Chain A
Amino acid sequence: DVKVTQSSRYLVKRTGEKVFLECVQDMDHENMFWYRQDPGLGLRLIYFSYDVKMKEKGDIPEGYSVSREKKERFSLILESASTNQTSMYLCASSLASGGSYEQYFGPGTRLTVT
């Protein structure tokens, strides 16, 4: 049973703070993803990673960076948090091959930037 965990369920930060969101998966998946979910906009891809130390920009990477030093862990970094980054952040993982495109999601982190 795949498990994706995220370090915090709720987080409140001040404008300008550096914020770290951590994600860990336990199924040896090659792919990991960070999304944000906003009302009326669905899930938008911020960054993804196909392998350790590999990263690629998604659709909305501005203001974010990522780190993948170990296969099971994918971190999202907000270098200087702004109020427009208040959102639900979702991490996901998937296999690299095998014909299944299914991504497994963590429970999400509700981030509020004040």
Chain B
Amino acid sequence: DQQVKQNSPSLSVQEGRISILNCDYTNSMFDYFLWYKKYPAEGPTFLISISSIKDKNEDGRFTVFLNKSAKHLSLHIVPSQPGDSAVYFCAASTSNTGKLIFGQGTTLQVKP
């Protein structure tokens, strides 16, 4: 039972363009969402998060959008840079559990 799904295994974009990574979830009890970035042979690093009381959070080139009615979130990277090439995981949590449920990941390739 995959509660958090990233249906696109890979995405390729041109440098300078927008990258949009998508994530869907099924559990309406999730109230906090995070995006992690992972380079090969390294552990995931936190990128950006959003609480369910918001619908948008921005941090520099990265913006996360949350659509609770559709149980969908997306990560926008503008402009995309070759150094953004990595695997991106979305994750979700419910209050007080401390646990994160991760999606399968999307491999982003940004071409120079």
Residue with the highest number of chain B CB atoms closer than 10 Å, among A41, A48, A103: A103
User: With A40-B9, A102-B46 in contact, is A48–B34 under 8 Å at CB?
Assistant: no
B104's partner among A42, A50, A90, A96 (CB-CB below 8 A) is A42
How many chain A residues touch B (Cβ–Cβ < 8 Å)?
27
The minimal Cβ–Cβ distance linking A94 to chain B, given in whole angstroms, is: 6
Chain B residues whose CB sits within 8 angstroms of the CB of A94 once the complex forms: 98
**B44 to A, closest residue via Cβ:** A105
Q: Are A42 and B49 in contact (CB under 8 A)?
A: no
Chain B residues whose CB sits within 8 angstroms of the CB of A31 once the complex forms: 98
Distance in angstroms between the alpha carbons of A70 and B49 in the assembled complex: 30
Q: Is A104 an interface residue (CB 8 A)?
A: yes
Q: Contact string, A38-50, partner B, CB cutoff 8 A, digits 1/0? A: 0011111100101
Q: Are B102 and A43 in contact (CB under 8 A)?
A: yes
**B4 to A, closest residue via Cβ:** A42
Distance in angstroms between the alpha carbons of A6 and B34 in the assembled complex: 23
Q: Are A90 and B43 in contact (CB under 8 A)?
A: yes
Q: Are B43 and A4 in contact (CB under 8 A)?
A: yes
B window 54-79: CB within 8 A of A? none
User: With A48-B99, A102-B49 in contact, is A43–B43 under 8 Å at CB?
Assistant: no
A106's partner among B36, B43, B100 (CB-CB below 8 A) is B43
Q: Are B41 and A103 in contact (CB under 8 A)?
A: no
Distance in angstroms between the alpha carbons of A96 and B96 in the assembled complex: 8
A window 67-95: CB within 8 A of B? 90, 92, 94
Chain A residues whose CB sits within 8 angstroms of the CB of B91 once the complex forms: 43
Q: Which residues of B contact A (CB under 8 A)?
A: 4, 6, 9, 32, 34, 36, 41-46, 49, 89, 91, 93, 98-100, 102-105
28 intermolecular pairs with C-beta atoms under 8 Å apart: A4-B43, A35-B102, A42-B6, A42-B102, A42-B103, A42-B105, A43-B91, A43-B102, A44-B102, A45-B99, A48-B98, A50-B98, A90-B43, A92-B43, A101-B32, A101-B49, A101-B93, A101-B100, A102-B34, A102-B49, A103-B46, A103-B100, A105-B44, A105-B45, A106-B43, A108-B41, A108-B43, A110-B41
